[in-house]
Structure 1
């Protein structure tokens, strides 16, 4: 860096800006940010599965629901039958009780509860799908999954 000592002949005011203090402040801020960033960015180390999609096996005891939100009105279909929220809860409770009874009761060894598989239209509002999930959980279903349509030509890839 060079410094002007004022050995010029004319006594005109100096128009150069002294950038040394600015550089000093910037270096101090850089050091502070380099120390502070690792403290702020903390995450839990997880080993997440590397699967693009996994085909589901459809069992006859699973519940298949289709949800659309045409015109802002939620429409839930159990199989091919349209049901209201109250009917969905009643059917869910009845289905779960019947399946538990079929397997030998609540204390039966190897009890496998049915799952709920939801197919949601792309344009369906979240409140429709969220309400259906909540209703099925209130009925007693522990596993609720989503069915999607993979892109044409894609295959299952396990990495």
Structure 2
């Protein structure tokens, strides 16, 4: 069964790749890696974050596009905080979140862009503070590697608001491969 699923995935990927090379780039899809660095009071509990994300982009014009993104993020617990709980025989592991956001991307020129997104950061782990409102803003750069594909690098400030007083804030870096459909 695994071989069949792997074969189907490979064929679908190759088909999408060929299709992406032949079509107008009104729609783009990007898949990439994420790295988060905790800021302020968030750094007292969480240290670093990492994960993967997928982002779809619909171009309204050469300058403006709408984005929709989803990801899988793991936040590692700060070593000092972990050691404090271990003294009480309580084991604390890294926490997993699923951020889902929609936003706008404005191309400043052919290479650089500014982006803003809002959505939710979802966690099934109640000790990880449940679901929260997520918003982010940042700058990035996209470099063409072929007529229909590009490498995308972005730097952003992101915050997940659990309540009016309880917030998690990060600096995020994303490196992705994008292709047109």
Same fold (TM over 0.5): no
TM range (shorter): under 0.3
TM-score with structure 1 setting the length = 0.24
Q: Which has the larger radius of gyration?
A: 1
